[in-house]
Amino acid sequence: MPRISFFYGIAITMYFYDHEPPHFHAKYAEHHAVIAIGSGEVLVGGLPTRALKLVAE
């Protein structure tokens, strides 16, 4: 899985051929979230509030 970004212990990754809607994966320690690119909505999983705010920025 290609890593797009890594900051404050948060890894942002995307799969080349993945399902709709367009999204990325965010991993922080043992937490994992799938986040829609267009809306920023968390589709699956979750992150701690502070990490989610950093990803949103």
Mean pLDDT of the chain: 93
Eight-state DSSP code of residue 20 = S
Of the candidates 54, 41, 55, which has an alpha carbon nearest to the alpha carbon of residue 13?
55
List, for residues 17-34, the tens digit of each pLDDT value: 878 899 999 999 999 999
Q: pLDDT value at position 19?
A: 83
Residue 31: count other Cβ atoms within 10 Å of its Cβ: 14
Q: How far apart are CA 57 and CA 45, in angstroms?
A: 19
pTM surpassing 0.95? no
Every domain of the chain and the residues it spans:
3-56
Q: pLDDT value at position 1?
A: 66
Contact 57, 51 (CB under 8 A): no
